[in-house]
Amino acid sequence: MDYCIRYVPLPISVKGVTAMDSDGFYNIYINSRLSYEEQKKTIAHEMEHIVRGDFFSFASLEEVERM
Kindly report, residue by residue over 11-26, the tens digit of the pLDDT: 999 999 999 998 989 9
Kindly report the pTM of this predicted structure.
Answer: 0.82
What's the chain's average pLDDT?
A: 88
pLDDT of 62 above 80: no
Distance CA 19, CA 61 (A): 13
Query: pLDDT of 29-52, one tens digit each?
Result: 999 999 999 999 999 999 998 998
pLDDT of 64: 57
Name beta bridge partners: 6.
29
pLDDT of 4: 95
